[in-house]
Amino acid sequence: MRIGLLGTGNVARALATGWQAAGHDVVLGSRHPKERGESEELGGFAVVGLPEAAAHGEVLVNATPGTASMDVLNGIGAGDLAGKALIDIGVGFTEGMELSHPNYSLSEEIQAAFPETPVVKTLATVDSVVMKDPGSLEETGTIFLSGDDAAAKRTTRQLLGDLGWPNASQLDLGGIGTARGQEHFALLFMGVAEAIGSYGFGIKVVRPRTRARTV
């Protein structure tokens, strides 16, 4: 599958590594492709302009900072995004480390602005290492999906599986409105990371025990 990753940071590089290893054709999109393409940390990846990354991908991945994502997507344009599933990983923070979307989510904003581009929120509750290597955890945690389009979710589930997330660990939360829960988890994520001294952790939904039916 052709995947266009918008961004060249830790998240984009981690996902590009995982999906390239799984046999996908990935490119990284940058506002400054020549400069970024020459950096050592991006060796081995094709780095192109953001419009070129969008044109390349059958599936697009927003791996830009949440406060910059709308500018990036508006710069590409609705026409070049239309009809392509967009996996959104972004979470926005202000300079004061407050959520940039306190009463809604970046994913909802993107979906409202680009109705012809089905958006799926996922991978927003783990760091870049765990995203591409869930096996680095003592046990596989739970990863979440939010979105309105069933076909885009199926594609996203496949790509998560290619990163090592088993189907049983993928929990569909429902429509795009549920993306705000994933993004708002960032506040708890930062607290847990500080408490344990590491960003390399996951969370797991533990279901209740099955109770015997009473007559």
Segment 38-43 mean pLDDT: 64
Determine the pLDDT at residue 23. 97
Q: Are the CB atoms for 62 and 28 separated by under 8 Å?
A: no
Phi-psi domain of 34 (left: phi exceeds 0; alpha: psi -120 through 50; beta: other): alpha
Stated pTM of the model: 0.93
The domains found in the chain, sorted by start residue, are 2-196 (3.40.50.720)
* Tens-place pLDDT, residues 160-172: 999 999 999 999 9
Determine the pLDDT at residue 209. 87
Length of the chain: 215
CA gap 180, 212 in Å, rounded: 36
Categorize the per-residue pLDDT at 82 as very low, low, confident or very high, splitting at 50, 70 and 90. Answer: very high
Q: Closest Cα to residue 70, out of 86, 59, 84?
A: 86
Determine the pLDDT at residue 215. 59
Give the whole-number percent of the chain exceeding pLDDT 90: 84
- Extract the tokens encoding 139: 């046990």
